[in-house]
Each structure stands twice: as structure tokens, then as C-alpha cells.
Structure 1
Amino acid sequence: MSSYNFKVNVSCVIKKDSDFLLIKRADDEEVFPGHWGVPGGTVEPTDPTLEDALIRECMEEVGVEILNVQPISNDINDKGDRGALYIVFKADYKRGELQALDGTAEAKWLGIDEIRSLNLTPKTLEMIEACL
């Protein structure tokens, strides 16, 4: 019997006034090194809910708290022996000093025009534009 590895990942488009929070992935990251995207990560077995996982990931990656969390999209990626469910949320910035933490090279509040000029991870622009 073969094993099947399935993960659930959450990510968040965080808005503060008219800007969005983007992170630049570290150059040594395995997936999309040096690309810009939104905070997020894998749901852990200890996370009571998807929202709790998202709140934890935002604190771990950029040190900010969020509120008004709402799901905006989901997608399944199946690669035969492994798969993932990606759930994207939008939220408002609540508080916290923006920091680049946990595999994050940079973290910035950026306007949509600046975002469009960056080297983005796939679907990042689509996620942000869904929140305009």
C-alpha cells in the first residue's frame, strides 16, 4: 500500500489602509526563492482552527496581528503521491511591528502599483486584486 501525503496550507492578504503586506522569500528557500508573496504556511495538528493557523503564521513570519479574517479562495494541488489544499484569506492589520522573521527576507507594506512591478509567487497578484 502506498502512502499519500496531504497538507492544508493557509495564506493571507493583509490590508492596512490602501497598502498590502508582502513578504520576500529568503534566497535559500526551496520553493520560489527570492519571490514576493503573502504570509502563510502549513496548518499544524495543534492549530484548533484554520483561522488560528493563519494568525500563528502571521505572527511567526511578520510579527503582526490580524482581524476581520474572511476566506476568499481555495485550490487543490494533487501531484499523485502528495497533495495540498490551499486556502486564501483576507484580513485587516490589527497591530504589531512589521518584521522579517522565520524564512522571510523582507516584509513591506506596498501599494498595488508597486506590487505589480515585483517578482511575485504564482497567484499573488490575483489574490491581492480580489481584495481591491
Structure 2
Amino acid sequence: MSTSLTYPSSLQEYAVSEKEYVRQHPEYDLLVTGAVVFNREGKLLIVQRAADERAFPDLWEIPGGKVDDTDETILQAAARELKEEAGLIATRVVRKVTQITFGERPGRSPTTWLKLVFEMDVESTDSVVLDPVEHQKFLFASEEEIVNDVVGDVELVYISAPNKEVKLEAFKLRREGMSS
């Protein structure tokens, strides 16, 4: 991963490895990232999980995934996941959008996951290439389409209510950022 990824100083706490972040925040066991990307028209990139995915097949989400031991920083992990899942090259982390904590799953030892979601600028939104093992479709959706859970004739079904809220928060922060 290129180290040319830029970010504001307000995101410095995420410019550390997963191991270091978890050491500083022992309430979390594992970190996951999400990447919010807007195109020139101000629409948000969403991807549909593959039909044969074990977890949450056919549901819509933003690109993202587990922070790996090999990721230099959490911010680099978000950029790597965006490249792997959507083929997009991040150039700048704009802001932290939100974070979601989720946890214990029945039949497994208690684990607390932290998902950190960042808005990212990319080289171009015209070249989305999905990893077909993970995702089968992508769309750019307006805020209204996210609110109404439909883009054209495509119904949007998300993994969870917080998963939808992440998208709405991204639109809100983008509006606020443009008006300041």
C-alpha cells in the first residue's frame, strides 16, 4: 500500500497499527474499517455482498473489512480494503464518519469489535472493480435513495439499522463540511 495517503491531523490517533490501538483501548479486541466514497455528483458508493457469501449474502454495505496485522495503520487498512473490494485507490482520508461497536456472538468467546468508518477521496470513482468473491454489484446512491431504501428498481437491504445510519451520517457530515 502506498504511503502517499494523506489525512488531517485530527485523525492522527488512527495512524497507528491495530495492535497499538487495541493496547491503548483495551475495551476492543478486533478492528474493522469501512470506507465512504462519494462520486462527483455527491452520491455514495455502496456494494452488494455476493449471493454465496457465508455472512449476510445479498445485503448492501460500504466497502471495508478487518484490519490486518500487516496493515501499517488503521487508515492504511481502510485504504487497502477499499482497493481490494472496489478497486479504488484512496488518496486522502477526509474525516472519520462514525464508529460502531458490536460484540459477542453466540457459541464464541466474547469479542468486542470496533468498526471505524472514514470518508475517503479516491483517484477516480469511474473505475470501480469489485472482487466477485465478496461483492456482486455496486451502485452510487443519493441520500434520498438511502433514506427510501431503493435505487431505481433495486431494493436496498442492509446488514443492520446501524449499517444504514452510517450512510446517512456520511451525507450529514459531508453537508456540514461543505457549509463550513
- Per the shorter chain, which TM-score range? 0.7 to 0.9
For residue 73 of structure 1, report the CA deviation from its aligned partner. 1.6
Please state which structure has a larger fraction of its residues in helix: 2
Unaligned runs of 5+ in 1: none
For residue 131 of structure 1, report the CA deviation from its aligned partner. 2.0
Alignment-derived partner of residue 127 in structure 1? 166
In 1, the alpha carbon distance for the partners of 2:47 and 2:75 equals 20
Alignment-derived partner of residue 92 in structure 2? 68
Alignment-derived partner of residue 15 in structure 1? 38
**TM-score, normalized by length of structure 2?**
0.64
The farther-off stretch of 111-120 and 37-46 is: 111-120
The farther-off stretch of 16-25 and 85-94 is: 85-94
Alignment-derived partner of residue 64 in structure 2? 40
Matched, 1:89 2:118: yes
Larger RCO: Structure 1 or Structure 2 (Cα < 8 Å, ≥ 6 residues apart)? 1
Alignment-derived partner of residue 4 in structure 2? none
For residue 128 of structure 1, report the CA deviation from its aligned partner. 1.6
Unaligned runs of 5+ in 2: 1-27, 151-155, 172-180
Q: May I ask how many residue pairs the two structures share in their alignment?
A: 128
Q: Per the alignment, in what secondary structure is the counterpart of residue 144 of structure 2?
A: helix
For residue 32 of structure 1, report the CA deviation from its aligned partner. 1.4
Matched, 1:98 2:128: yes
**TM-score, normalized by length of structure 1?**
0.85
**Conserved in 1, the CA contact under 8 Å of 2:35 and 2:79?**
no
In 2, the alpha carbon distance for the partners of 1:131 and 1:77 equals 19
**Conserved in 2, the CA contact under 8 Å of 1:12 and 1:91?**
yes
For residue 68 of structure 1, report the CA deviation from its aligned partner. 3.4
For residue 112 of structure 1, report the CA deviation from its aligned partner. 2.4
Q: Aligned Cα RMSD in Å?
A: 1.9
Structure 1: which 4+ aligned runs deviate by more than 4 Å? none
Q: Which has the higher Rg, Structure 1 or Structure 2?
A: 2
For residue 64 of structure 1, report the CA deviation from its aligned partner. 0.6
Fraction of identical pairs, as percent: 24
